[in-house]
Chains A and B, each alone.
Chain A
Amino acid sequence: MPDLSVTPTVPAATAPQHTGSGAFPTADRQRRYWLLVGVLAALSVVIAVGIVSWNNPMPFGTEGFWRIAQMRATSLVVIALVVVCQAVATVSFQSATNNRIITPSIMGFESLYVALQTAAVFFLGSIGVTVFQGVTQFVVMIVLMVGFSLMLYGWLLSGKYGNLQVMLLVGIVLGGGLGSIATFMQRMLTPSEFDILTAKLFGSVSNADASYLPLAIPLCILSAGALWWRSRRLDVIALGKDVTTNLGLHHRREIMIVLFLVSVLMATTTALVGPMTFLGFLVATLAYQFASTHEHRYVFPVAILTGFVILGGAYFVLKNIFYAEGAVSIIIEAVGGSAFLFVILRKGRL
């Protein structure tokens, strides 16, 4: 294992003296934060190394070993991408909507994905699964999902009665409606078609096609980077519309930008691996519990690393212990959900 000594890299220029006005009220909290990041980073490295090299049939160092490792590294990249998308999108979305118990998944992204996949199988039969395979189709899927959400945000946030709560409600209702249509169509499928479809509808790392990555990686990096760059604005937006306006930010414009970036991230991850409703929520909530700060530039890394540990860990366990690398979302929802409840009930607040 590589040397992973945890050295706090506190930037000296920004914090000459700990005053407590910044991200952490006390120097002790700050140390705890960097320790946490160190531990999570170490765990992530262990999991990454595990995924790549565990049970590799070839002896270490041979050409075959590296070839297998390289193939597995694709899964690793997919996991990292999904985690960055879900973590950054959910944390930002919760701040934009001032609500810590929702996730962008409920805004219809996943329902739209499920409805499209189901419709393809419904109308075209088993062959329909292949309709959404290929880079062009991947792009179409992302464009459809981003377009759907932009329509929703643009329409509901810019009108005279534009209101965040109404937008969320309409999003959830539309999502529910699409979900019902999909369920209805699934009822009419033959068992074999349904079986093929089901495999697509569980969020799964193996759904991802390596040929999507050249597109998915820049989309993810650009959007997540933009949100990272705006993290100080996000700190303010999280205080609500009135305070945001008072502090000189144009609230609606900021919200629209954040929601647009969130929708790109969510569309990318959903088109890549399918729905993972709970992952983002789990990761964001745990990140707030662990990080104990309100500043987004400190919450983001914890959320991403926590997500990597959860998703990577679930993938590793499923693949090497249960020999079922498919449905990671199942284990995330079962194990992650319990862990989540445990943390919340122990701490007693969100």
Chain B
Amino acid sequence: MIEIKGLRKEYSSTVTIGDIDLTIPAGGITALVGPNGAGKSTMLTIVGRLLGADAGTIEIAGYDVSSTKSKDLAKIVSVLRQENHFVTRLTVRQLVGFGRFPHSQGRLNRADEEAISRAVEFFGLTDLEHRYLDQLSGGQRQRAYVAMVLCQDTDYILLDEPLNNLDMRHSVQMMKHLHQVAVELGRTVVVVLHDINFAGHYADRICAMKNGRVVEFGTPDEIMRDEVLTRVFDTPVTCVDGPNGRLAVYY
């Protein structure tokens, strides 16, 4: 369970995020949606302690994010930013191997190697595992980053727009993978999504944000409604019943 209480972040007097009070239950996929600048990524990075908050407390599985040792938190929660660029030249397998750092401090043992192989295989990267990241397509690279985070073996996984740069096919695959991660491996996945229909179909819960606050939190059925989405996104949205569930039409 992720518990956020009174979270505030002030960039300037006009740009503020918060107060946010939110409880994300353990298990399943929780999607963060909302218009640009709503504070989705900021909230996610603060929860993942990549950014400091100005006020408020965050507890992940009962551990206070600000007071728990970073080293211990790294075994509880992992977080991936939207933009990743490394000066270091790494192969897929080497990158994924870094996910084991919190467990083995860089000295990979047999168990680590197995975990790396599992993560690489899980995302269908086995054939590419010795390729350098700069030799991969955007979609393959994105999968490699998520594989690294998965390899970290944490109960909580926070991803900032993992569908960024992915085409239709790879977006669907990525969401299916994340669904598998949540269901088969029992992890809690929190993910920022831009496409409301992906959220509606794959997420177990949707958290809608607007102007730095959480405005809606509920199951896809509760959120995928004309009036709710129109209000959240400030644009006319009509929800229709599609072949695989409800779809938001906004164009």
Contacts and interface: CB of A to CB of B under 8 A. Distances in A.
Given A26-B130, A238-B87, A294 B94 contact: yes
B89 A294 contact: yes
A249 interface: yes
Interface string A16-58: 0001111001100000000000000000000000000000000
A250 B72 CA distance: 12
A232 B106 CA distance: 6
Contacts of B70: 245, 248-250
Interface in B183-209: none
Contacts of B74: 246-248
Contacts of B129: 20
Nearest to A231: B106
Contacts of B48: 246
B64 interface: no
A242 B44 CA distance: 13
A333 interface: no
A136 B14 CA distance: 56
Interface in B86-145: 86-91, 93-94, 96-99, 101-102, 105-108, 112-113, 116-117, 129-130, 132, 134
B176 interface: no
B83 to A, nearest CB: 9
B70 to A, nearest CB: 5
A99 B107 contact: no
Contacts, number: 93
Interface extent on B, as a size class?
Answer: 35 or more
B50 interface: yes
B30 interface: no
A245 B105 CA distance: 14
B106 A20 contact: no
Contact of B108 (A22, A25, A236): A22
Interface string A227-263: 0000011011011111101111110000000000000
A33 to B, nearest CB: 14
A94 B87 CA distance: 10
B91 A20 contact: yes
Nearest to B76: A248
B93 A25 contact: yes
A248 B94 contact: no
A240 B130 contact: no
B49 interface: yes
Contact of B93 (A21, A100, A238, A242): A21
Given A236-B101, A239-B88, A249 B71 contact: yes
3 shortest interchain CB distances as A-B pairs: A248-B74, A232-B106, A21-B97
20 contacts: A19-B113, A20-B93, A20-B130, A21-B97, A25-B93, A26-B130, A99-B87, A100-B87, A232-B106, A232-B107, A235-B98, A238-B87, A240-B86, A243-B98, A245-B50, A246-B78, A246-B79, A246-B152, A247-B99, A349-B89
